[in-house]
Amino acid sequence: MASHEIDLSSALWRKSSYSNGTGGECVEVADNLPALVPVRDSKNPEGPALVFPTHAWALFVRSL
């Protein structure tokens, strides 16, 4: 693992409550990591995740 990569192996992922019920078009977030909120596409769980600082994620969610 490169030094700039973040270890997400302990992330507890959950789907957005606004995702559809068929399993597609879902966004998953993990909110159990201190200071970070990773976000990924549930159709590609082994793919990349966007990782936000908690304060930036909170501002994003509040703005919605």
State the CB neighbour count (10 A cutoff) for residue 29: 20
Cα–Cα distances in angstroms (integers) from residue 61 to residues 13, 18, 26, 39, 40, in the given order: 17, 13, 16, 13, 16
Task: Write the CB contacts of 43 (distance below 8 Å, at least 6 apart in sequence).
Answer: 23, 24, 25, 26
The two beta strands, 36-41 and 13-15, are unpaired
**Does pLDDT of 1 surpass 60?**
no
Q: What is the pLDDT of residues 19-33, one digit of tens each?
A: 766 656 788 999 899
**Does pLDDT of 12 surpass 70?**
yes
**Does pLDDT of 2 surpass 50?**
no
